[in-house]
Amino acid sequence: MEHKAEHIIKALTSDIPLSLFGPDRFLHIVKIAEQLELKDKALLVEFLNTLLSVMLTRGASDIELGGYGTKNRIWLRIYGKKEPGRELPALTEDEAALLISSLLTKSQIEHLAKFRNVDFSYSYYNKEQGKKVRFRADAYFEMDTVALNMRAISADVRPLESLEFHKGALRMMSHKHFKFGLSLITGITGSGKSSTLDSIIDYHNNNDNAHVIIIASPIEFVHRSEKCIIRHREVSKDVKTFKEGVIQSLRQDPDIIVIGEMRDPDTIMAALEVSDTGHKVFSTLHTSSASESIERIIAEVNPVEQERVRNRLADVLLSVVSQKLVPSLDGKRVLAKEVLVVNSSVKAAIKNNNISEIYGMINMGAQSGMVTLEQDLLRLYLQKKISKENAVAYANNKKRLVQLMNSI
């Protein structure tokens, strides 16, 4: 099957005019693909599914293909390390573009050509696992060529208890204990934010009778309603924007609103407003510490609005989890996290714009469930899960971590 698909791909891309570049070249490739018979189109999709099956078998989290940077190779990320898949076929830029186009709908192709980027989700039935597997995908232009990243979405959700949160932090995140307010999961790309968010949703699904609305781009893990009724709304498919999804959710009788990412001022303001109107809200940010998360939210809005946002954030913020995935001694990765539980002192620090004081509050707040990233990295090092070198490398405050290690 792979041989037939590769033959089709090579034949279709062998005579593309050299005068075509960028989106024009991609759209020309799309037109060629539209002329394929259904059985040949199916072969291309099966070929891609085979590549994804190899990816999953090797335990990779991501696959990369297409674009100038790949050097015609297919790359995998395995336990955090990016490397070319030596057993995978080579694909020219045009061949990869043809394969990528076979995954996209007409509207997604138009969006990619116009905006040079499109996010989408993809799933197929994996025979080895005996079930459907899902991927988060991002197609984009690089050096006038089309590239693709696909990230595997775990078919299973880790129990929230296994993430080793203190009971004080768990109470803040629980809808049973706090009916409204904002909890944030933050970290750099690839730090496991979505997995932690799914664990929180799954916890509520098994323990609370509530209505959960998830607004994401794209939808990753699909939850099956148990004790909760869970709605999934994908941005660009089910709703136009995050902001519209949040505003519309107020008319849909939710208890818990999950916002995939607070990526712009409008979404941030909408999240604060619904948190303040009696709803439990969870969301993510691309930040590496609790203090940075608070500063980012305030800095994102117009300076005229910042004082009002600072006061509102202080009133609604319940907790912040900032996490990293650190290479472990067994060759895999382990979760390290900083946890802020918002108490009256933290609220006062936010309102008075004394954000720099919050790290010290986290450092002294172990009894209420707080932990700095450096304290958690020290714990993992003492448990012989990570090396001293990696503990220091992944610390936000390296000097502080060295002090903690020297005090043992």
Please state, for a pLDDT cut of 70, what percent of the chain lies above it.
Answer: 100
State the Cα angle at 243 between 242 and 244, rounded to 5°: 95
Same domain, 274 and 296: yes
Same domain, 148 and 165: no
Which residue, of 138, 153, 168, is where some domain finishes?
153
Same domain, 252 and 349: yes
Rounded to whole angstroms, the Cα distance separating 151 from 146 reads 17
Summarize pLDDT for 14-51 with one digit per residue, the tens: 989 989 999 999 999 999 999 889 999 999 999 999 99
Average confidence (pLDDT) over 134-163: 94
Whether a cis peptide bond, with omega within 30° of 0, leads into 218 is yes
Q: What pLDDT was estimated at residue 306?
A: 95
Give yes or no for residue 330 having a pLDDT over 60: yes
Same domain, 383 and 321: yes
Q: What pLDDT was estimated at residue 357?
A: 97
Same domain, 193 and 230: yes
Same domain, 197 and 229: yes
Give yes or no for residue 1 having a pLDDT over 70: no
Same domain, 138 and 189: no
Tally of domains in the chain = 2
Same domain, 230 and 368: yes
Summarize pLDDT for 233-268 with one digit per residue, the tens: 999 889 999 999 999 999 999 999 999 999 899 999
- pTM, two decimals, is 0.83
The CATH number linked to 269 is 3.40.50.300
Q: What pLDDT was estimated at residue 2?
A: 61
Summarize pLDDT for 81-119 with one digit per residue, the tens: 999 998 899 999 999 999 999 999 999 999 999 999 999
Same domain, 170 and 145: no
Q: What pLDDT was estimated at residue 3?
A: 73
Tally the C-alpha atoms within 13 A of residue 301's C-alpha that lie toward its C-beta: 21
Domain membership of residue 264 as a residue range? 160-406
Same domain, 352 and 232: yes
Give yes or no for residue 364 having a pLDDT over 90: yes
Least Cα distance to 297 among 267, 321, 326 occurs for: 267
Kindly report the average pLDDT of the chain as a whole number.
94
Which residue, of 129, 153, 177, is where some domain finishes?
153
Same domain, 334 and 240: yes
Helix axis angle, 2-12 to 93-101, nearest 10°: 110
Which residue, of 153, 170, 203, is where some domain finishes?
153
Same domain, 181 and 143: no
Handedness of CA 229, 232, 238, 241 (dihedral sign): positive
The CATH number linked to 69 is 3.30.450.90
Give yes or no for residue 135 having a pLDDT over 80: yes
